[in-house]
Structure 1
Amino acid sequence: MTSLQKLSLAYFIALMIAASLNYVPGLTDANGLAFGIFALDIYDDALHVASAIWALIAGIKSHRAARMFMILFGLAYLGDGVFGFFTGYGYLDLGILTNASLGLDFSLGRVLANVPHLALGGLAVWAGAKNIGSPE
């Protein structure tokens, strides 16, 4: 198993944790905000679970599948994080289609809500582009 395959499996775990945040007692406040910062709905949960399953399949299947996952997933999540800063909503959960833009904002809440997508996406694109642990 290559480094990219192992990283894909780590993404599976991270994304499943993200999908479970709404269901762990004490992690959401009275307003339904995870850690008091951002709201996750059923669409977010479905997106995280679908991405996690994709990561799991890619990690198990092959280095090439893991690399493709890293690049495509990374670009999608990186872009979603950028949109989050500019609009307050992402495109992966269709938030930009169902909500009016809140405009560019670098407040602490907006940063904390979007940094996970920027970090996961950025690391994935870097790892896939660099082709870490390539068996060739």
Structure 2
Amino acid sequence: MTKLRWIALFYMVALLVAASLNYIPGLTDAEGRAFGIFALDIFDDLLHLVSALWAGIAAYLSSRAARSFLLYFGVLYLGDGLLGLATGSGYLDLGILNYGIQDLPFGFKILANLPHIALGGGAVLSAYLFRREA
């Protein structure tokens, strides 16, 4: 199995973990925020589940499919994280449409958007670094 396929499998597991955060006792506070930072609703959980399914199918199919997943997923999630960093709302959960620009502390915006920035950036970087495998 190629590195691209292994990386896509890693993303599948990471996204399944993200989808399960609301359902693991002790990880959410009284207000329903995971780690006391961000609130994940059923829409977020479904987004993570569909993304995990996409990652798993891509890893199963081929290196080319895995690279395509990493590239497209990465651009979508990285863009969402950067928009969230700039405005306090992302687009994947329709937050920018529902809540608009939010006046949140910058440190909070970093913590809340770091998962999408890191996962998205890592995916794009992986797609670029291992492009010859596809």
TM-score between the two structures when normalised by the length of structure 2: 0.94
Letter in 2 for 1:114: N
The answer on 1:49 being equivalent to 2:49 is yes
Name 2:117's counterpart in structure 1: 118
Name 1:102's counterpart in structure 2: 102
Question: Aligned-pair RMSD on alpha carbons?
Answer: 1.4
Contact 1:2 1:133 in 2 (8 A): no
Offset at residue 133 of structure 1 (A): 6.9
Looking at structure 2, the residues matched to 105 and 75 of structure 1 have their Cα atoms a distance apart, in angstroms, of: 25
Q: Does the C-alpha gap of structure 1 residues 32 and 104 become closer, same or farther in structure 2, counting only changes over 3 Å? A: closer
Q: Which runs of 4+ in 1 moved over 6 A?
A: none
Name 1:18's counterpart in structure 2: 18
Looking at structure 1, the residues matched to 91 and 62 of structure 2 have their Cα atoms a distance apart, in angstroms, of: 29
Contact 1:85 1:105 in 2 (8 A): no
Q: State percent identity of aligned pairs.
A: 57
TM-score between the two structures when normalised by the length of structure 1: 0.93
Offset at residue 129 of structure 1 (A): 1.5
Alignment of 1:1-136 (within 5 A): 1-103=1-103, 105-107=105-107, 109-131=108-130, 134=133
Cα-to-partner distance string for 1:13-35 (whole Å, 9 max, x where unaligned): 00000000000011000011111
Cα-to-partner distance string for 1:90-136 (whole Å, 9 max, x where unaligned): 101111111121157522x221111111110001001102225716x
Higher relative helix content:
2
How many residues matched? 134
Looking at structure 2, the residues matched to 73 and 115 of structure 1 have their Cα atoms a distance apart, in angstroms, of: 15
